[in-house]
């Protein structure tokens, strides 16, 4: 009997001890949540801008008829590369050869007439002093000689015109480039007055890329540059990279040439022109592309991983930072764009602040956390 009572007391004591232990465990304070942070410091960061645009030929020459006549032959293949000065068409030269011969004959006649009148003036000179020839006759001879000299000048001009027109019968390419479709065939009649289009030659290496930029973007760039927030690259030195219509990166880099000063009233945009090398002929006139322009360097900005930046209900960019007391605070950020997988922040953060990049869903502003620094990103292997 005593043994049974003792066993019951032991069971009760064990139950009480277990209850006390469980109560002690339930009243223990949980540890602060773990978060990963990135310590930010101001730096100079390259700023780029992506714009849509279309390609256009560097030089475009519309080859048109400059004399009337029948096309006797064509000396090129559609779509082939032609050189500057290369003959593309031959217009019947016979009428213009005849005009040149006629002008040359008129010149010879004027030269012969001048010789006769010059000799007459030389004969009259001594006779005037002897009163053997009247002064009026001598003056008439001098005037006739002057007229003959003018006739020679006119005849020479006619010879030059006839020679030029004869040269126009050989229709040559004014530039080196790729020819387009021939608009006339052998036997066609072309006219200088109608400026008959015969073909088009385009130089496609290098190529122009005409991009459209919002006037608001341009205005903000100029303000940032004036305030010292941004050091702009000057035209001719700002690198430009392209993405083609199929999404592939174009392998060659170009440079920004200029930005137009006139805003399109219909679209509110300005044209920005870049020059791109095209040694392989990949770019064709009229292609749609997207270009990234390196505008310059943003001064005293912070680079924050995208995981550390969220947007509130008003659409403002925000970030959680961990203070020296390990308390979480919220910051409203002023961002100006992205760099790779990070945001470029130009306002809202201070040097040395720790931005939460992992564990955001477990904390709220004012909470105490345990923060650990995120490992640095791996370095990419260089090709040098």
Q: What domains can you pick out in the chain, each with its CATH number?
A: 69-91+171-203 (2.40.50.100), 94-168 (1.10.287.470)
Q: 381: pLDDT confidence band, cut at 50, 70 and 90?
A: very low
By C-alpha distance, which of 96, 84, 264 is closest to 169? 96
- The pLDDT of residue 1: 47
Q: Is residue 54 packed enough to be buried (19+ CB in 10 Å), middle (13-18) or exposed (0-12)?
A: middle
pLDDT at 178: 93
> Does pLDDT of 260 surpass 80?
no
Token pair belonging to 116: 């006769």
Q: Please, which pLDDT band fits residue 4 given cuts at 50, 70 and 90?
A: low
Sign of CA dihedral 320, 324, 325, 326: positive
Q: What is the DSSP letter of 174?
A: S
Residues 6+ apart with CB under 8 A from 201: 60, 61, 63, 82, 173, 174, 175, 177, 178, 179, 180
Lowest mean pLDDT among 233-237, 275-279, 337-341: 233-237
Q: Which helix (H) or strand (E) holds 294?
A: strand 288-305
Burial of 373 (0-12, 13-18, 19+ CB in 10 A): exposed
pLDDT digits (tens, 9 = 90+) for 286-342: 999 999 888 777 788 888 998 889 888 888 899 999 988 988 899 899 887 777 788
Neighbours of 235 (CB within 10 A): 14
- State the Cα–Cα distance between residues 144 and 209, nearest whole angstrom: 64
Predicted model pTM: 0.68
DSSP-derived secondary structure for 72-124: EEE-S-TT-EE-TT-EEEEE--HHHHHHHHHHHHHHHHHHHHHHHHHHHHHHH
**What's the CA dihedral at 254, 44, 260, 340 to 10 degrees?**
60
- 3 state DSSP class of 244: coil
Euclidean distance between CA atoms 310 and 13, whole angstroms: 55
Contacts of 165 (CB under 8 A, 6+ apart): 67, 96, 99, 100
Sign of the C-alpha dihedral computed for residues 74, 77, 79 and 85 taken in this order:
negative
Which pair of structure tokens corresponds to residue 292? Answer: 């990234």
Nearest to 300, CA basis, from 48, 38, 37, 47: 47
Cα 185 from Cα 67, distance rounded (Å):
16
pLDDT of residue 268: 84
DSSP assignment letter at 366:
T
Interatomic CA distance for residues 19 and 15, integer angstroms: 6
What are 21-50's pLDDT values in tens digits?
A: 544 455 567 788 888 999 999 988 887 788
Segment 151-189, tens digit of pLDDT: 999 999 999 999 999 999 999 999 999 999 999 999 999
Count of positions (residues) in the chain: 384
In whole angstroms, what is the distance from residue 76 CA to residue 67 CA? 20
pLDDT band with cut points at 50, 70 and 90 for residue 5: very low
- Measured at the CA of 230, the angle between CA 229 and CA 235, to 5 degrees, comes to 160
Instruction: Name the residue among 171, 191, 161 with its Cα closest to residue 61.
Output: 171
**Residues 125, 121: Cα–Cα separation, whole Å:** 6
What count of other Cβ atoms lies within 10 Å of the Cβ of residue 132?
9
Rounded CA-CA distance 89/170 in Å is 6
* pLDDT value for 287: 94
pLDDT of residue 155: 93
What is the tens place of the pLDDT at every residue in 72-94?
999 999 999 999 999 999 999 99
Say whether pLDDT at 2 is over 70. no
């Amino acid at each position: 009997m005593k043994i049974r009572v003792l066993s019951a007391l032991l069971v009760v004591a064990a139950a009480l001890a277990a209850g006390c232990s469980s109560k002690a465990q339930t009243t223990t304070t949980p540890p602060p949540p773990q978060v990963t942070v990135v310590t930010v410091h101001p730096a100079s960061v390259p700023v780029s801008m992506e714009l849509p645009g279309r390609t256009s030929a560097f030089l475009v020459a519309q080859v048109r008829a400059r004399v009337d006549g029948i096309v006797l032959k064509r000396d090129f293949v559609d779509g082939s590369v032609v050189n500057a000065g290369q003959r593309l068409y031959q217009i019947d030269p016979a009428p213009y050869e005849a005009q040149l011969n006629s002008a040359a004959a008129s010149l010879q006649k004027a030269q012969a007439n001048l010789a006769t009148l010059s000799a007459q003036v030389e004969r009259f000179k001594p006779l005037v002093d002897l009163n053997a020839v009247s002064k009026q006759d001598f003056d008439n001879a001098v005037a006739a000689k002057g007229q003959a000299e003018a006739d020679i000048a006119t005849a020479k001009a006619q010879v030059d015109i006839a020679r030029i027109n004869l040269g126009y019968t050989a229709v040559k390419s004014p530039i080196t480039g790729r020819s387009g479709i021939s608009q006339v065939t052998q036997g066609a009649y072309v006219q200088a007055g109608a400026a008959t289009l015969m073909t088009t030659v385009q130089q496609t290496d290098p190529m122009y890329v005409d991009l459209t930029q919002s006037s608001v973007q341009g205005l903000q760039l100029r303000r940032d540059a004036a305030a010292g927030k941004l050091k702009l690259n000057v035209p001719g030195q700002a690198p430009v990279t392209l993405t083609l219509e199929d999404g592939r990166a174009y392998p060659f880099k170009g440079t920004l040439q200029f930005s137009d000063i006139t805003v399109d009233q219909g679209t509110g945009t300005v044209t920005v022109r870049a020059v791109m090398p095209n040694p392989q002929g990949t770019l064709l006139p009229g292609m749609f592309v997207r270009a990234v322009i390196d505008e310059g360097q943003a001064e005293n900005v912070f680079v924050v991983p995208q995981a550390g930046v969220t947007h509130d209900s008003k659409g403002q960019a925000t970030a959680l930072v961990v203070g020296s007391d390990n308390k979480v605070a919220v910051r409203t950020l002023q961002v100006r764009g992205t760099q790779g997988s990070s945001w470029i922040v130009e306002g809202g953060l201070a040097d040395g602040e720790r931005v939460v990049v992992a564990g955001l869903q477990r904390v709220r502003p004012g909470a105490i956390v345990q923060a650990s620094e995120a490992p640095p990103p791996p370095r990419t292997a260089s090709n040098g």
